[in-house]
A and B are shown apart, each in its own frame.
Chain A
């Protein structure tokens, strides 16, 4: 073989071999792809809340814009799992007429850039007063907050927020978010994985419990 050709082949072979790389994404199961992030208002006393109400559907936010609401198999599985988990933590589910202490909102985020979360108050984006008495009632447009800034890839995420209705008046007529949980990954909108997501989010938030 010509020397120059041999040299070139050797160099090219090495460069090809140097491309060998074990891709982490090809060695990750769907459940391993799931990431859960939680944040809390460090001043909130979760034992002071006794009752809650969960939204009957999830807000769907696409590229930062509210696109509608969803109430399918996944959302129902999620609501049931949250209901069960919160009752296990000592809270009581009530309807809006009973003026719940906490409101739980669900937001499905799609096609967004994701990253780590940045905690903000519930109504920062709206700059208005929203009466906690009407939270959750149809037609009032109590949209969920965008409390999380997540990673720099497009993906689907589920955001669950707990809102302080009890102290809205004391907080200057503002509903504040006292807890936020984000789950994201391959199984995020899988109805069969809704309960697992709730369990993980609550497991890493042991401070959520009532002293009833």
Chain B
């Protein structure tokens, strides 16, 4: 576990700093124009496809943060990072390992995903009180994949490409408030290959707040 935490920290500093650097690049030159906004969201991820073989539980320890630069009144571009922790424990079962061994164990799958992506959001109706938008992004997904047999873990850490697309709404807290609620959902396609799992794709539901960085 200590090794895993160290790895997480190393990976976090290696990759998670990137979107903040990108965000700073767009933020500080543009701040005088009040075009930069940040969304901070709580996120629930629902495993889909092949991922459900190992984890079918919905992950409720997720977060997402995006820094967005308003190119126009409707078009926002920026970077976002997220996190979620997937966990599932299976009852004791007996299985063959393919090497002649018969194993009885309680299996626990523990998966963390940290997507780091460039993102685009297009606001469909910028003059209405509620601003619906569509979003898409592409980048990398840091995957920490642990399968425990009893208390013994076998770890597969990979960084793979990932893309997402979805939709949401900004709902201003009041007519003149700079703050908005941010509600939405997206599908993230996240390929993975070790451990017989082709992908760790998810459907994400998120809710948070959008605020200007000025």
Is A170's beta carbon under 8 Å from chain B? no
Q: In the complex where A15-B12, A28-B150, A186-B151 touch, is A36 in contact with B103 (Cβ < 8 A)?
A: yes
In the bound complex, CA of A186 to CA of B40 (Å): 42
Q: In the complex where A10-B38, A10-B40 touch, is A42 in contact with B149 (Cβ < 8 A)?
A: no
> In whole Å, how far is A159's beta carbon from the nearest beta carbon of chain B?
13
B214 contacts A3, C-beta separation under 8 Å: yes
In the bound complex, CA of A116 to CA of B150 (Å): 13
Interface size on A, residues (CB 8 A): 42
Q: Give the residues from 1 to 21 in chain A that come closer than 8 angstroms, CB to CB, to chain B.
A: 3, 6-7, 10-11, 13-15, 17-21
Nearest residue, chain A, Cβ from B42: A17
> In whole Å, how far is A177's beta carbon from the nearest beta carbon of chain B?
13
Is B108's beta carbon under 8 Å from chain A? yes
Residues of chain A within 8 A of B130, CB atoms compared: none
- Select one of A18, A39, A114, A184 contacting B100, CB under 8 A: A39
B101 contacts A18, C-beta separation under 8 Å: no
Residues of chain B within 8 A of A13, CB atoms compared: 40
Is B148's beta carbon under 8 Å from chain A? yes
Residues of chain A within 8 A of B106, CB atoms compared: 28, 32-33
Nearest residue, chain B, Cβ from A25: B151
Is B89's beta carbon under 8 Å from chain A? yes
Residues of chain A within 8 A of B97, CB atoms compared: 116
* In the complex, per-residue mask of A197-212: 1 if CB is within 8 Å of any chain B CB, else 0: 0001000110000000
Interface size on B, residues (CB 8 A): 42
Between B8, B20, B146, the greatest number of chain A beta carbons within 10 A of the residue's beta carbon is seen for B20
Q: Give the residues from 8 to 64 in chain B that come closer than 8 angstroms, CB to CB, to chain A.
A: 8, 12, 16, 20, 24, 27, 31, 38, 40, 61, 63
Residues of chain A within 8 A of B105, CB atoms compared: 34-36
Is B179's beta carbon under 8 Å from chain A? no
In the bound complex, CA of A155 to CA of B150 (Å): 12
Nearest residue, chain A, Cβ from B61: A20
Residues of chain B within 8 A of A34, CB atoms compared: 105, 150
Q: Give the residues from 49 to 87 in chain B that come closer than 8 angstroms, CB to CB, to chain A.
A: 61, 63, 65, 81, 83, 85, 87
Residues of chain B within 8 A of A17, CB atoms compared: 63, 83
Is A90's beta carbon under 8 Å from chain B? no
A200 contacts B63, C-beta separation under 8 Å: no
- Select one of A7, A24, A184 contacting B27, CB under 8 A: A7
In the bound complex, CA of A39 to CA of B102 (Å): 6
Is B128's beta carbon under 8 Å from chain A? no
Is B143's beta carbon under 8 Å from chain A? no
Residues of chain A within 8 A of B8, CB atoms compared: 19, 21
In the bound complex, CA of A131 to CA of B149 (Å): 39
In the bound complex, CA of A35 to CA of B149 (Å): 7
* In the complex, per-residue mask of B82-116: 1 if CB is within 8 Å of any chain A CB, else 0: 01010101001010010111111110101010100
In the bound complex, CA of A39 to CA of B20 (Å): 52
In the bound complex, CA of A28 to CA of B97 (Å): 22
Residues of chain A within 8 A of B81, CB atoms compared: 14, 18
Nearest residue, chain A, Cβ from B64: A14
> In whole Å, how far is A25's beta carbon from the nearest beta carbon of chain B?
6
B102 contacts A28, C-beta separation under 8 Å: no
Show 9 residue pairs from A and B whose CB-CB distance is below 8 angstroms, ordered by the A residue: A10-B40, A15-B16, A18-B12, A19-B8, A24-B110, A28-B151, A35-B104, A42-B100, A186-B151
Beyond A23-B1, A42-B100, 9 extra complex contacts between A and B, CB < 8 Å: A14-B40, A17-B63, A22-B85, A24-B146, A25-B148, A32-B106, A35-B149, A38-B102, A184-B150
Residues in B lying within 8 Å of A, measured CB to CB: 1, 8, 12, 16, 20, 24, 27, 31, 38, 40, 61, 63, 65, 81, 83, 85, 87, 89, 92, 94, 97, 99-106, 108, 110, 112, 114, 146, 148-153, 213-214
Residues in A lying within 8 Å of B, measured CB to CB: 3, 6-7, 10-11, 13-15, 17-25, 27-28, 32-40, 42, 114, 116-117, 119, 151, 153, 155, 184-186, 200, 204-205
